[in-house]
Amino acid sequence: MTYTNALKTFILILSCSFLTAACSSYMAANQPGKLDLDLFQSGTPKSLLIAEFGRPAQEQVEEDGVKYDIYVFNQGYSTVEKTGRALIHGVADIATLGLWEVVGTPIETARSGQKMAVKVSYDESNLVEKVFFLKRKYG
């Protein structure tokens, strides 16, 4: 390989690494936010649960007349966690001239929060009566 070809290859690799730089930083900063799980307690109005976690994935009324909702959501990360991860990825990108993205992007793809499913029963006033955590899975 001649010096000119080696230089062209190096410039091409360097250009590609700068084009992909900051993907992991961006992904870390845009992960889902941390939700208030303390709302899943007896006496909380259904409207507060909807405001925090969105519409239930499933709503049902049992034969005994008890109303149940199942909320499915990703429990994300605090602003401090997201900012710290984004900064670490940014520093690693600079230190490795963008090559960190080969490692950083798959890490952030895999770390998209904790998948959760929660079943909630309500009383006749639409206040939380019982809470059942059905699923807690990292993914």
pLDDT at 99: 87
User: Averaged over 88-117, what is the pLDDT?
Assistant: 88
Residue 11 backbone phi and psi in degrees, to 5: -65, -40
The average pLDDT across 4-22 equals 64
Task: Express each pLDDT in 22-66 by its tens digit.
Answer: 788 888 888 999 999 999 999 999 999 999 999 999 999 888 888
pTM of the predicted model as reported, rounded to 2 decimal places = 0.72
Between 112 and 15, the more confident residue is 112
State the pairing for strand pair 128-138/67-75.
Answer: unpaired
Tokens coding 126: 């639409």
Which residue, among 35, 37, 46, 34, has the nearest Cα to 120 in the 3D structure?
46
| pLDDT at residue 19 tops 70 | no
**pLDDT of the residue at 110:** 85
| pLDDT of 12 strictly over 90 | no
Rounded Cα gap, residues 117 and 106, in angstroms: 25
At residue 139 the predicted structure's pLDDT band, cuts being 50, 70 and 90, is very low
Average pLDDT (94-107) is 87
> Is 133 or 98 the better-scoring residue by pLDDT?
133
